[in-house]
Structure 1
Amino acid sequence: MAGNYTKMGIYDNITQTIGRTPLVRLKRIESYFNVKNELYAKVEFFNPGGSIKDRIAKYMIEGAKKEGKIAEGAVIIEPTSGNTGVGLALVAAVEGYKTVFTMPTKMSPEKELLLKALGAFVIRTPTAVAPSDPNSYYKVAEVVRNLIWKKKKPVSRGELKEIVDYVQRLVDEGRLEELKAILEEEVEETPYAYIPNQYFNRYNPIAHYETTAKEIWEQTGGDLDYLFAGIGTGGTITGIGRYLKKKRDVKIVGVDPVGSIYHLIKKGMRLEEALKKAHPYLVEGIGEDLLPEIVDLSLIDDIVVVNDQEAFAMTRLLAKREGILAGGSSGAALYGAIKYLKENGIEGKKVVIIFPDTGRNYLTKIFNDNWLLENGFEIYDEKILEGLR
């Protein structure tokens, strides 16, 4: 029996355990939905921070150090839906950096508590605002960075707390002009505050090209036909897609939530028009209302669209049927994969689906009947998913 367990090792620090996550066959899901394909989940919650974002966190910090963008005692700041923040906080703790994360209010309280447990400061921002607004989580990260740059030296934890508390007050009180003034003020760049910016950081897709994709190729022995992944920053699907397509004609299919713009742009809609159709949704970590620099839509063969209800029901069913407690973006990816395979009459193929994070981050939301009902969702998962069977 002992031979069936994961091989143990000894590591110098927790960041050395990032990656090398398992690929798990979803036989009970295949049977339940009568899917005539082999479904394999790349289960990324085996990373120490609980998500696939640990991979890019390590690469982005190592890249910044190599390029001289961060100095000893620096503060790493990032707009995040939670998981990238956890990864960055974990790596920063090992490397000795302080961290601040800006996060929309729709993100689960578990994610905020996780970040704080790792020593990070968190600033909550409105969800339904444009990325260019002074109180968006993108711009608020820049506000914090600029205030640190103005000091022209490393800041202590006490000084950082004062800055964070001040910025949170500006956001909570809607003092947009003051936020805008800080953003527009010319300040000299220093290595004491750094925003990796996963949406524009080249190390994001590189991390997946060099680790996630290579693991999938080795685990399948190169025998796979389809790869399904949610599109958030685009780093995961771009990095994996770039690697796999160099190896063989693997079909790369993105999964996008209703309210996001990726599927609209893929169909040929201009960015300006797509943005007019963007609207809030509740599944976390995938979809966008901007077009990140790192995403390469040409590598994506097709995109399937999933709504919140479908994503949440599949997430809950996955836990009950396979014992895999994953997050909402995993449920979305699985629903999207089954929907796509069935609608296109695809059979006899080997399919890999990326499961980005753990369901432990969503116990008070997706796995909480009261929260679902309060937000207008059904809780009878099997009934909701009947159409896929």
Structure 2
Amino acid sequence: VSSGILRKAITVDESTQVILNGSHRYEVLKLMGCKLIPVVYVNYNSPDIVVECWCGNSKLSKKEILEAGLSGRKLPPKSSRHLIRRGNSLFHISTIEKRVDVPLDLLKSDLELINIREVKTAMYANFDETLTSYARFLKTGIIDVPLILDRATNILLGDYDAFYALDLLSANKVPALRVDIDQLGTKFIHSSKEITKQIIIDAGLRGPKLPPNSFKLNLEPLRVSVPLSDLMEYRDMSKKSMRVFESTIELLYENWPTPLVKLKSLSVSERTVWAKLESYNPFSNSIKDRVGWALISDALERGELKNVLYEATSTNTGIALASIANTLGVKSKLFIPGAVQKTSDVYLDVLGAEVIRLPVGLTVEALEIVDAEAKAHGGSHLNQFENDANFKVHLKYTAREIDEQLKSLGLQPTCIIGGLGTSGHMSAIAFYFKSKYGDDVKIIGVQPAPNEVIPGIRRTETGMKWLHRVRFDEIVDVTQSEAIEGVIKIARNEGLLIGLSAGAVVNAFQKIAKDKGIYVLVFPDSGYKYAEYFEKHFFEKR
């Protein structure tokens, strides 16, 4: 302690919080103004923990020690000593106390719940590690690690994966401890390269951010227990706002959540069916507005947004990107498979995008061409098929919206059904609900049947980046004709003109639905772009 560092944790009974070893350290730290202390928890009822008395043949029971600790009636110094059994030998219980080497400055900090926007980040986090924390927080409902911030600048020094997980969970506040970075010796900040404290401060205050794992605190993890619910600030969904927006971009994200509507024509006495209507997004009238916004926002944050966007699209992502890019004065060059409906060119022409038709069957088959073009002309290829911003935006918003919308009705979904295109939205929804509810929620993916074309979705064997992160309970094949019949069913019973991929979701529901349960069908867009498919369908029916 004299060096400003606490070397070892104390030992505490996990059920009563009574100190078994380390009382002197505890008292000294209190006198020094410390508010936190690292502990090692043990089960005091275990027969492997033995209590002895320092004073000769006197006897002292575990019950007496706990009663003294709980009542505040302290025993005389050196009244007891605790041993722990390992094999056939007994060792002093201090042998299990971890070497922690925690600066006292950190232990003197109050645990604060601060606005997440006050935290300045100097580094990106490893995405896989962030998802691990995200799933743990979501499953337990408890935040078990504090963020470590520099007191003077609010720059995040420790637990980056926890911070980014809380951001994905849309937390309004974060639990934080403050420490003076200048009082942390060099041994407390580990880096694979020559990352100095000044580099960390510069990255946090001015950018650019450092790559993941550029540095970390060499401290034993501190543990706290903060309910996730204490960190959330949900909008009041019961009040009708005046719906005034400062910009067309606000019209997108300030309008979330998109509606969740009950489909009475598919619901029966013990089965309710809900549709998530992504056509309420303003630019492409589709779920791809979320993706376009996320891709461009991510590129802006990273300083990688060039004057021209290059993207392979079957329509909706192109419209979303072109629309949002227009608000920023950025041009769009979009590459579309030759078989996609011709009306797409008209919409994109109106938006001022340059359209190139390619002799490919699937949008994903154009990626190499688009990437080469972007590199050759100094443009930005945001790549919806590979960019994690696609997955993240649905994890942070779409999935949570569905959960909260149902929760407002006192419901939990039995099954969620959606189409697979990039796999971004359904993989994120699957990750969220499987992390939180496990197999209580079934996740069904929808793909075109072999040799069938349904705009916006494709078969899993064509390769989808995020599918490996989750387990779908079933993948259902649907033909184009079945998808259109699904569109017609909803149009003629619910009055909604949905898109073909949404029609495929309806057909998949009809194939797998049971008489009981709470089903959510994700409808990615409306049907107004697909007149050519409808015209062909009705012509062939005549």
Fold agreement, TM-score > 0.5: yes
1:364 shift after superposition: 2.9
Residue 318 of structure 1: CA displacement?
1.2
In 2, the alpha carbon distance for the partners of 1:129 and 1:228 equals 22
Aligned-partner residue type, residue 243 of structure 1:
Y
Cα shift at 1:358: 1.0
- The offset of 1:121, in angstroms, is 0.9
CA distance in 2, matches of 1:7, 1:339: 40
Structure number with the higher strand fraction is 2
Residue 84 (1) aligns with residue 317 (2): yes
Q: Look up the equivalent residue of 2:276 and give its one-letter code.
A: K
Instruction: Quote the residue 2:308 is aligned against.
Output: 75
CA contact (8 A) 2:431 2:470 kept: no
Structure 2 distance, partners of 1:137, 1:103, is: 8
Among 433, 458, 473, which residue is 1:301 paired with? 473
Residues 1:360 and 1:6: Cα distance change in structure 2 (over 3 Å):
farther
* Bigger radius of gyration: 2
In the TM superposition, what whole-angstrom CA distance separates every residue of 1:254-284 from its partner, at most 9, and x where no partner exists?
A: 011112xxxxxxxxxxxxxxxxxxx4x2310
Taking structure 1 as the reference length, the TM-score comes to 0.71
CA offset at residue 86 of structure 1?
A: 1.0
Output one character per residue of 1:107-129: Cα deviation in whole Å (capped at 9) or x when no partner: 12222222222221111112437
Change (3 A) 1:241 1:298: closer
Q: Does 1:146 align with 2:386?
A: no
Task: From 180, 195, 203, give the equivalent of 2:389.
Answer: 203
Within 5 Å, give how 1:146-225 maps onto structure 2: 146-149=375-378, 193-221=379-407, 223-225=412-414
Residue among 107, 117, 120 paired with 2:353? 120
> Which residue does 2:79 correspond to in 1?
none
Q: Quote the residue 1:20 is aligned against.
A: 257
For 1:116 and 1:146, the matched residues in 2 are separated by 24
State the SS of the aligned residue for 1:233: coil
Contact 1:80-1:103 at 8 Å conserved across structures = yes
1:150-198, Cα deviation, whole Å (9 max, x unpaired): xxxxxxxxxxxxxxxxxxxxxxxxxxxxxxxxxxxxxxxxxxx111111
Q: Does residue 364 of structure 1 match 2:532?
A: yes
d(CA) in 1 for partners of 2:309, 2:350? 16
Residue 274 of structure 1: aligned partner: none
Aligned sequence identity (%): 31
Cα offset for 1:139?
3.1
Q: Which structure has greater helix proportion?
A: 1
The answer to whether 1:30 aligns with 2:281 is no
1:61 aligns with 2:296: yes
Q: Distance in 1 between matches of 2:519 and 2:375?
A: 45
CA distance in 2, matches of 1:224, 1:291: 28
Equivalent residue in structure 2 for 1:251, among 437, 442, 448: 442
Q: Supply the AA of the counterpart residue of 1:304.
A: V
Deviations 1:303-349 (A, max 9, x none): 111111111111122111111111000000011012111xxxx2321
Task: State how 1:343-358 maps to structure 2 within 5 Å.
Answer: 346-358=514-526
- Tell me how far apart the structure 1 counterparts of residues 348 and 363 of structure 2 sit (CA, whole Å): 24
Cα pair distance change 1:94/1:359, threshold 3 Å: same
CA distance in 2: counterparts of 1:130 and 1:207, whole angstroms: 21
Aligned partners of 1:230 and 1:332 also within 8 Å:
yes
Separation in 2 of the partners of 1:106 and 1:130?
A: 10
User: Structure 2: where are the runs of 5+ without partners?
Assistant: 1-237
Cα distance in 1 for partners of 2:357, 2:491 equals 30
Partner residue, 1:317: 489
Higher RCO (CA-CA < 8 Å; seq separation 6+): 1
| SS of residue paired to 2:357 | strand
CA distance in 2, matches of 1:116, 1:21: 27
> RMSD of the TM alignment (CA)?
2.3
Query: How far apart, in 2, do the equivalents of 1:44 and 1:147 lie?
Result: 35
Report the Cα distance in structure 2 between the residues aligned to 1:105 and 1:321, rounded to whole angstroms. Answer: 34
- Could you tell me how far 1:229 is from its partner in structure 2? 0.4
Q: 1:347 to 1:67 in 2, by over 3 A?
A: same
**Is 1:336 paired with 2:522?**
no
Quick check: 1:40 aligned with 2:298? no
Deviation at 1:91, TM superposition (A): 1.2
What's the offset of the Cα at 1:94? 1.3
SS at match of 2:422: coil
Q: Which moved more, 1:5-14 or 1:112-121?
A: 5-14
Q: Is the 8 A contact 2:481 2:537 kept in 1?
A: no
Q: In the alignment, residue 217 of structure 1 is paired with which amino acid?
A: D
Tell me the secondary structure at the aligned position of residue 137 of structure 1.
helix
Query: Which residue number corresponds to residue 51 of structure 2?
Result: none
| Number of aligned residue pairs | 296
